[in-house]
């Protein structure tokens, strides 16, 4: 593995769109249907935790009804020829189910719950709901293992270190709107090759980047064909 090129894939909601999961900021996206501060912020949790439990219970249930798509699968297949690490903003488990083995979930995971007082007390819950009154082993209310707006992103420095070692940085399906995740691109080495797959224009002002203006599945096929001959 030592001589293999290191690929770091920075993924966002767009990679799971073709699996049937709604993105956040596209037209008809999640944040047109819901008030982000009511359902995905720490203030929202303090104001109306039952509403937030319901929102994430619905997301978790839906996740059990969808499958990974070819974009997730191609990323997993690339592990045969490359050292691939995925840094995802997604809270779904489609990279895992697609077969990838090195995945950092910057914004947490839907299939896990945690103590509302101890961020390190985390339990697997699969696709099951979290009920109001259901407690963690420390007696506190269980909450989704999600990093909400207004909270720190504990894995950001680990992710920045990983991005800085990439030979190839691949960005798939993220509007690059949410910080600190979007700022990770700035940690890429000046010699790293950067690709961005997205069917829509992504406001990116930075170094030379190869844009692949396709949906994730088609874009990943093109990306694979291009890098396999590098």
Which segment (23-31, 58-66, 123-131, 188-196) binds ligand OAD by CB under 6 A?
23-31
When asked if residue 147 is in the footprint of ligand OAD (CB under 6 A), the reply is yes
Nearer to ligand OAD, 167 or 198 (CB): 198
State which of residues 166, 169, 174, 193 lies at the interface with ligand OAD (CB under 6 A). Answer: 174
Member of 145, 175, 185, 195 binding ligand OAD (CB under 6 A):
175
Name the packing angle between helices 216-227 and 70-77 (round to 10°): 20
Confirm or reject binding of residue 23 to ligand OAD (CB under 6 A). yes
Q: Does the protein bind ligand OAD through residue 24 (CB under 6 A)?
A: yes
For position 216 contacting ligand OAD by CB under 6 A, the verdict is: yes
- In angstroms, the CA 127 to CA 148 distance is 20
Residue 62: which of 25, 92, 97 has the closest Cα? 92
Nearer to ligand OAD, 216 or 227 (CB): 216
Stretch of 50-58, 116-124, 162-170, 197-205 lying at the interface with ligand OAD (CB under 6 A): 197-205
Give the pairing of strands 103-105 and 108-115.
unpaired
Secondary structure letter of residue 84 according to DSSP? E
The answer to whether residue 196 forms part of the interface with ligand OAD (CB under 6 A) is: no
Of 83 and 148, CB closest to ligand OAD: 148
d(CA 105, CA 18): 20
Q: Is 145 assigned a catalytic role?
A: no
If one asks whether residue 9 binds ligand OAD (CB under 6 A), the answer comes out as no
CA distances from 198 to 101, 108, 192, 224 (A): 24, 23, 19, 15
Question: Which of the stretches 113-121, 129-137, 142-150, 159-167 binds ligand OAD when contact is defined by CB under 6 A?
Answer: 142-150
* b/e sequence 49-75, b meaning 16+ C-beta within 10 Å: eeebbebbbebbeebeeeebbbbbbbb
Q: Report phi then psi at 211, rounded to 5.
A: -90, 130
Strands (E), the chain: 6-11, 83-88, 103-105, 108-115, 122-124, 142-146, 168-172, 193-197, 210-212
From the list 25-33, 116-124, 186-194, 221-229, the region that binds ligand OAD by CB under 6 A is 25-33
**Active-site residue numbers?**
107
- What is the contact surface with ligand OAD in residues (CB under 6 A)? 12-14, 17-18, 23-26, 29, 40, 89, 107, 147-149, 173-175, 177-178, 198-200, 202, 215-216
């Amino acid at each position: 593995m030592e001589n293999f090129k290191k690929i770091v894939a920075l993924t966002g909601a767009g990679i799971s769109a073709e699996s049937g999961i709604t993105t956040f900021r596209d037209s008809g996206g999640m944040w047109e249907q819901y008030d982000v501060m009511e359902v995905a912020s720490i203030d929202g949790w303090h104001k109306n935790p039952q509403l937030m439990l319901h929102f994430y219970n619905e997301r978790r249930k839906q996740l059990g009804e969808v499958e990974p798509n070819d974009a997730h699968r191609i990323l997993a297949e690339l592990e045969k020829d490359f050292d691939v690490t995925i840094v995802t903003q997604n809270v779904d488990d489609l990279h895992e189910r697609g077969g990838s083995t090195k995945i950092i979930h910057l914004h947490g995971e839907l299939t896990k719950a945690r103590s509302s007082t101890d961020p390190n007390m985390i339990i697997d819950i699969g696709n099951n709901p979290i009920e109001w009154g259901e407690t963690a082993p420390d007696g506190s209310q269980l909450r989704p293992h999600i990093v909400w707006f207004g909270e720190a992103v504990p894995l950001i420095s680990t992710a920045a270190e990983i991005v800085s070692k990439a030979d190839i940085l691949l960005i798939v399906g993220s509007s690059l709107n949410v910080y600190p995740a979007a700022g990770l691109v700035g940690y890429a080495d000046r010699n790293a090759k950067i690709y961005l797959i997205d069917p829509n224009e992504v406001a990116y002002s930075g170094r030379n980047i190869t844009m692949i203006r396709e949906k994730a599945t088609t874009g990943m096929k093109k990306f694979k064909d291009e890098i396999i001959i590098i």
